[in-house]
């Protein structure tokens, strides 16, 4: 493979159709030849992240022109920033994506073929642009991206930890710089330091969230209020627009990433892409990884998933782009449509679709003698339906929520959940140690029969693998807000004391429960600050400060058999 010397041109202007100028760094091979273009559009500052320079240097050396562009209104680009407008018809960023792809095709030394790449928000900008079908767009590589707004905010509940720190620490500093706000942090590093050393994360606990002072998030107050008012709305609606997309897309994610949305992009395009060519050339890679671009390794959180988990990002990207942009035969020619890493046995599955063929939804039922509220309690899980059994109960006090065990930056990775063992507001249903392996790959859901003393509350379900050495590995979780049990497009408060059946959709997973391991399902009513707290009052949790304790009852008997549906596949 030829390796080129790389040269970089900074702040290259590109004029959008409405006259606004966006600026990009263009990294190119120092050669007289012509090369395809790789484009990433980012709100995070094209020169601010070391990762951008790493990608640019490596991919340009492999024979691509690599373009990192600041989004409208961010860093060196002009215009007004309009973040998370998604598929809104007045969102100019949709046309910006189209216009930038076409601009890339005209760059000196370009072959006219353009591919896009990027993780998270930089993946979302690709799916915003794709339905406009720029003539020179050939393929995409989008990682860790949602398909709709509610992939992130389950049941319309704000994922507070990530969304608030993103707003205050990641996005607001550049707004404060542009607005010249005195005393405000002007870089994410300054904002992070204030968050931890001065403010001690206090804004997470502020009530009501709508009254957080504007000085805490310069330039983002209006955005924050729009988020709180519209948590149940799908701002993105990418799935509805798959029928307008006609290019191959590689969707990459991890089991501790925004996997549900990334998988929906793949399966939605397989089913509904505009052309047969597009439908047949979707590819999905799901590893054991977290929300990351480059770190596709074996060590994730506190677990080692073995050498099979290791992918080289640059080899992956080059295989995909060389296939489509250079017409070369590469490893991507042999990729199955869905390459799925199965944790536990730490091996890859190669499937034609998602969910895998042969998957069977298999119920495992909750059991107890009424004392599942301690780590040494009598809650059990088995394939046998319950008979007459007493219900389990716990109190949920939003002043003392179950705290999320995740990274300092608010990202999920496999971390031992045993620090929560002392909580009495978690019900735990655990199988005996397995005698045979049980492989589950696909969507997970819990059917819960429950009552509450409150007019509104939350129920959260977690699927867990308990290792023989005691390590408690959270695999996936799901949440339902009682008022949205019939859909986020309506609000139906519950009658205190009345029993309701809730279907809780968990994130999908891929895990083999090995012999000696135990399957566990936890039921709780808070997971803070991963999700904002339900105040249990039936009021507007984002605009009212009142809190109340809810007494929760979970039933598991012959009439009300609460259970988890596991997606069992042949090993």
Active site residues: 120, 257, 291
Residue 311 to residue 294: CA distance in whole angstroms: 9
Select from 543, 201, 531, 224 the least CA-distant residue to 398.
531
Spatial neighbors of 49 by CB under 8 A, at least 6 apart, are none
- Lookup: tokens for 514: 């090995």
Beta bridge mates, 114 = 37, 137
CA distances for 55 relative to 35, 220, 249, 402, 522, angstroms? 16, 30, 19, 39, 40
- Lookup: tokens for 116: 């896009």
Q: Is 40 exposed, middle or buried (0-12, 13-18, 19+ CB in 10 A)?
A: buried
DSSP letters spanning 505-549: EEEEEEEEE-TT-EEEEEEES--BTTSPPP-SSSS-TTT------
What is the CB neighbour count within 10 angstroms for residue 489?
10
- Lookup: tokens for 541: 């949790």
Residue 459 to residue 23: CA distance in whole angstroms: 46
CA distances for 287 relative to 15, 78, 341, angstroms? 39, 38, 5
């Amino acid at each position: 493979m030829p390796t080129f010397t790389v040269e970089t041109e900074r702040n290259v202007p590109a004029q959008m159709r409405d006259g606004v100028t966006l600026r990009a760094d263009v990294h190119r091979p120092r050669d007289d030849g012509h090369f395809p273009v790789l484009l990433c559009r980012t709100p995070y500052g094209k020169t601010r992240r070391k990762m951008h320079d790493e990608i640019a240097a490596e991919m340009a050396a492999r024979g691509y022109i690599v373009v990192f562009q600041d989004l409208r209104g961010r860093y060196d680009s002009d215009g007004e920033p309009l973040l998370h407008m998604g598929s809104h018809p007045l969102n100019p960023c949709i046309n910006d994506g189209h216009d930038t792809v076409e601009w890339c095709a005209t760059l000196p030394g370009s072959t006219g073929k353009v591919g896009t790449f990027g993780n998270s928000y930089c993946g979302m900008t690709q799916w915003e642009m794709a339905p406009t079908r720029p003539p020179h767009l050939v393929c995409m590589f989008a990682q860790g991206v949602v398909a709709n707004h509610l992939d992130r905010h389950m049941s319309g509940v704000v994922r507070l930890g990530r969304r608030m720190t993103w707003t205050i620490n990641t996005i607001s500093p550049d707004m404060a710089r542009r607005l010249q706000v005195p005393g405000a942090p002007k870089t994410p590093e300054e904002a992070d330091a204030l968050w931890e050393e001065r403010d001690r994360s206090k804004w997470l606990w502020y009530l009501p969230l709508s009254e957080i002072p504007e000085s805490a998030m310069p330039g983002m107050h209006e955005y924050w209020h729009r988020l709180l008012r519209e948590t149940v709305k799908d701002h993105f609606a990418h799935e509805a627009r798959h029928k307008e997309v006609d290019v191959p897309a590689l969707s990459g994610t991890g089991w501790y990433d925004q996997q549900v949305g990334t998988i929906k992009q793949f399966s939605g395009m397989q089913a509904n892409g505009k052309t047969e060519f597009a439908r047949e050339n979707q590819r999905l890679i799901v590893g054991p990884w977290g929300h990351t671009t480059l770190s596709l390794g074996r060590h994730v959180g506190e677990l080692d998933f073995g050498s099979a988990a290791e992918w080289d990002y640059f080899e992956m990207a080059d295989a995909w782009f060389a296939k489509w942009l250079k017409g070369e035969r590469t490893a991507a020619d042999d990729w199955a449509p869905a390459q799925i890493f199965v944790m536990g046995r730490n091996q890859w599955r190669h499937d034609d679709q998602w969910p895998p063929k042969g998957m069977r939804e298999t119920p495992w039922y909750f059991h107890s003698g009424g004392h599942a509220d301690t780590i040494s309690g009598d809650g059990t899980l088995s394939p046998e339906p319950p008979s007459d059994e007493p219900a389990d109960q716990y109190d949920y006090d939003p002043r003392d929520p179950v705290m999320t065990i995740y990274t300092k930056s608010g990202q999920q990775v496999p971390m031992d959940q045993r620090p929560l063992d002392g909580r009495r507001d978690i019900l735990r249903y655990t199988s005996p140690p397995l005698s045979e392996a049980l492989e589950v790959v696909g969507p997970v859901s819990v059917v819960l029969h429950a009552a509450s003393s409150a007019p509104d509350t939350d129920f959260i379900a977690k699927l867990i693998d308990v290792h023989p050495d005691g390590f408690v590995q959270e695999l996936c979780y799901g949440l339902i807000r009682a008022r949205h049990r019939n859909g986020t497009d309506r609000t139906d408060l519950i009658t205190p004391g009345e029993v309701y059946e809730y279907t809780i959709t968990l994130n999908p997973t891929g895990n083999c429960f090995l012999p000696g391991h135990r399957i566990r399902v936890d039921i709780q009513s808070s997971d803070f600050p991963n999700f904002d707290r339900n105040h249990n009052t039936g009021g507007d949790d984002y605009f009212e400060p009142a809190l109340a304790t809810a007494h929760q009852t979970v039933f598991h008997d012959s009439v009300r058999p609460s259970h988890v549906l596991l997606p069992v596949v042949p090993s």
